[in-house]
Structure 1
Amino acid sequence: MRMAGARRHTLRDIAATLNLSVNTVSRALSGKDGIGEETRARVRAEAERVGYVPNSMARSLVLGSAMTFGLVITNPSNPFYAQLISTIELRARAQGYSLLLTVTEESEEHEMRAAESLLRSSVSGSIVVPVQAGADAWRRLGSVGVPTVLINRDLPDLGYRFVGTDNELGGHRAAAHAIARGARSIVVLEEDLPITTIDHRIAGFRRAMAEAGLPVPRGSIMRVPTRRHEHVALPWQPQQAYQVARRMLRRSRLPDAVVVGNDYFALGLYRALEEHGLKVPDDMMVIGFGDHPFSAFLSPPLTTVRLPADEIGTIAVDLLLEEIAGGRNARPLKQLIAPTLVERGSTLRA
């Protein structure tokens, strides 16, 4: 099996191995007339052996001139991914590459289609946010020599280059900040998706609580149903967080602070607290995740964890260029970039 970073085989390679013309190889693989069955069988056998993938840009493959990156993300309405797209596109363009964007909407089926689309389009390499429902789609790209860099979520079994946010550190910093401000009980409102970014944030929260000698009782982690699986434009609905927050506020003992998995959830939480006659931060501190553009304009402005989208996007393109060039420098295989805690009014008690 050819892994990412290996040179992709072309029609010209097959022709040279079999001592045939490129035209003969092309006609044999496309099923056109005028090619003997023995020759056709030899060509197909060699194509299968080297993992050749026919596609609509065969000319680019033969000439070695494909100058396109594939970028696969889960949802472009996520401000983090929107910034990633912009950074990656600008960085790629500066190197002479165009960008082919595909969205999976957290669907394994869409992910498989995205991988096949990249193969057919003869991309020079790919940058991928995986769904994490399996690795087959991206293993397929590696097996035919398409360099692939993973971002935000890793698939460790593949051994591909990876760069993402240190979400465990982000979760830890959010909880530790609340504890430093006097919180002794904290509730986390998180998405209901089975992905590592969420798992790592929760692990960081638990570590901060343990270091402070504070308990994490049952009910401290509340899951917010997202609408990603319904494939709507915005995966996070403040309404869903609002409903979960209302359930939390019916408890006899309320937490000192709430950490939300993304800033959109804070919108719903703020509304629920206001209706309940509670003030942020005097009655309850709120800490977000993402530092979305509206966060500084809430009342009070939201303390939140800023994600390093620009740095991740820049590093991802540089790593992919290294893979395409056939070499790797001294950078580690896996890179986690630290997020930044942005302190604002939602945790600044008088």
Structure 2
Amino acid sequence: MVTIKEIAKAVGVSSATVSRVLNFDQTLSVTPKTRQAIIETAEALKYETPRARNRAYQQGLGKVALVHYLRPDQEFVDPYYVGLRLGIESRCQALKIETIKVYHTDSLPEASLLRGASGIIAIGRHDENEIDWLKRHNRNLVFADFAPPTDEIDSVEADLMLATRKLLQSLREAGYRRIAFAGWVDVYDGVAPTRVERRCRAYTEWAKEAGVFDERICLTDGKTEDSGYRLTRQILSQPDRPDALITANDNMAVGAYRAIHEMGLSIPDDIAVASFNDISVAQFLNPPLTTVHLPAEEIGEGAVELLLERMGGRELPKRVTLATSIRWRGSTRIRASQTAN
């Protein structure tokens, strides 16, 4: 059996660092590159922690169904949800738990598949019929990146309303006064929700409270790069051009960059751009994109932990909210004090 000492030697770190990384100690200060190297080395050597072996065995968590609200082609172009799923799968792999992916289709997931799993992790937004269907066929249910409209089901997510307000306030403190927003209508199965998408709702509330809301620079469409392009051109065609633009995700920001450059404008001199998700491409745009980091992988890992607790006998439902952080980069002008946010 491979030991922590052998992994530490292979990576070039201390045994204590390896132990804390493999036990998902979030207080450990280590670079993402080192953390990844430790996990990949441990997986290559087929290492598993005693705690992982014991917990999965004792709690009977042999198979987890990942029920996605997206189709495979939709997830493929959304790095955020790829990262979230990988967070679930890597944690399950460390615990020797089998995972079954169930992507969205026009019909509900097969009842036999749901009953055959030890538990279900539902990724993203699901409607009431789907939630009832999942609950009916498996009592061990956790939602990742979505909190159902009830406090009777476990969930883990980031607070997008708070994250949006934090970004808006920070841009305001950096001197921006006319901030535009490009988002989307969160249509699911052809039906729009009764309330608008959370980032758009937070922007609208904040702007109205500040007395600066202008519907001409708060536009929605889809959540793609092309949507970001179209909305940005429309927003920047207004006579009173904004000095900052927030897009609801990084894919839309890529389209916004294209529109801004085509219009002969400079980022951030003519207009600043900020976004959400912090996907890998964000830091390689020109200039690098300021974005709110949403802890996708940690949300996935947290969902697995909640499911383990459920299998271990916890009865009181939990709703876990993880913190977000702003990654300040070259697409915005910032004061030195803000780089710590």
Considering the TM-score relative to the shorter chain, is it more than 0.5? yes
Q: For residue 164 of structure 1, what is the amino acid of its counterpart?
A: E
Do structure 1's residue 325 and structure 2's residue 312 form an aligned pair? yes
**Alignment of structure 1 residues 118-133 onto 2, 5 Å:** 118-119=113-114, 122-132=116-126
Deviations 1:11-37 (A, max 9, x none): xxxxxxxxxxxxxxxxxxxxxxxxxxx
**Alignment of structure 1 residues 65-144 onto 2, 5 Å:** 67-73=62-68, 74=70, 75-77=74-76, 78-104=78-104, 109-110=106-107, 112=108, 114=109, 116=111, 118-119=113-114, 122-132=116-126, 134-144=127-137
Q: For residue 324 of structure 2, what is the amino acid of its counterpart?
A: P
Picking from 245, 249, 259, the partner of 1:262 is 249
Structure 2, gaps ≥5 residues long? 1-58, 187-191, 336-341
In structure 2, the residue corresponding to 1:288 is in which secondary structure?
Answer: strand
Give the TM-score normalised by structure 2: 0.71
In structure 2, the residue corresponding to 1:187 is in which secondary structure?
Answer: strand
In structure 2, the residue corresponding to 1:341 is in which secondary structure?
Answer: strand
8 Å contact from structure 1 (residues 209, 216) kept in 2: yes
Instruction: Give the corresponding residue for 1:215.
Output: 212
Instruction: Give the corresponding residue for 1:347.
Output: 332
8 Å contact from structure 2 (residues 111, 137) kept in 1: no
Q: For residue 69 of structure 1, what is the amino acid of its counterpart?
A: V
Picking from 209, 215, 230, the partner of 1:243 is 230
Picking from 152, 177, 181, the partner of 2:145 is 152
CA distance in 1: counterparts of 2:212 and 2:278, whole angstroms: 28
Structure number with bigger Rg: 1
CA distance in 2: counterparts of 1:131 and 1:115, whole angstroms: 19
Q: CA deviation at 1:349?
A: 6.6
Do structure 1's residue 308 and structure 2's residue 295 form an aligned pair? yes
**Alignment of structure 1 residues 29-48 onto 2, 5 Å:** none
Q: CA deviation at 1:347?
A: 0.5
Instruction: Give the corresponding residue for 1:284.
Output: 271
CA distance in 2: counterparts of 1:337 and 1:95, whole angstroms: 22
Change (3 A) 1:286 1:214: farther
Q: Which moved more, 1:275-284 or 1:68-77?
A: 68-77
Do structure 1's residue 200 and structure 2's residue 198 form an aligned pair? yes
Picking from 252, 257, 274, the partner of 2:239 is 252
Q: CA deviation at 1:93?
A: 2.2
CA RMSD of aligned residues (A): 2.6
Do structure 1's residue 165 and structure 2's residue 185 form an aligned pair? no
Q: For residue 199 of structure 2, what is the amino acid of its counterpart?
A: R
Structure 1, gaps ≥5 residues long? 1-63, 227-235
CA distance in 2: counterparts of 1:195 and 1:308, whole angstroms: 25
Deviations 1:196-248 (A, max 9, x none): 9963222332454456x34112223211234xxxxxxxxx2x22221222222
Instruction: Give the corresponding residue for 1:185.
Output: 178
Change (3 A) 1:144 1:116: closer
CA distance in 1: counterparts of 2:262 and 2:234, whole angstroms: 13
In structure 2, the residue corresponding to 1:127 is in which secondary structure?
Answer: strand
Give the TM-score normalised by structure 1: 0.69
In structure 2, the residue corresponding to 1:345 is in which secondary structure?
Answer: coil
Q: For residue 75 of structure 2, what is the amino acid of its counterpart?
A: P
8 Å contact from structure 2 (residues 62, 98) kept in 1: yes
Q: CA deviation at 1:278?
A: 1.1
Q: CA deviation at 1:336?
A: 1.4
Q: For residue 289 of structure 1, what is the amino acid of its counterpart?
A: F
Q: CA deviation at 1:163?
A: 0.6
Instruction: Give the corresponding residue for 1:33.
Output: none
Do structure 1's residue 224 and structure 2's residue 221 form an aligned pair? yes
CA distance in 1: counterparts of 2:161 and 2:110, whole angstroms: 29
Change (3 A) 1:92 1:328: farther
8 Å contact from structure 2 (residues 277, 294) kept in 1: yes
Q: CA deviation at 1:117?
A: 5.9
8 Å contact from structure 1 (residues 192, 223) kept in 2: yes
CA distance in 1: counterparts of 2:165 and 2:194, whole angstroms: 15
CA distance in 1: counterparts of 2:195 and 2:301, whole angstroms: 20
Aligned residues: 267
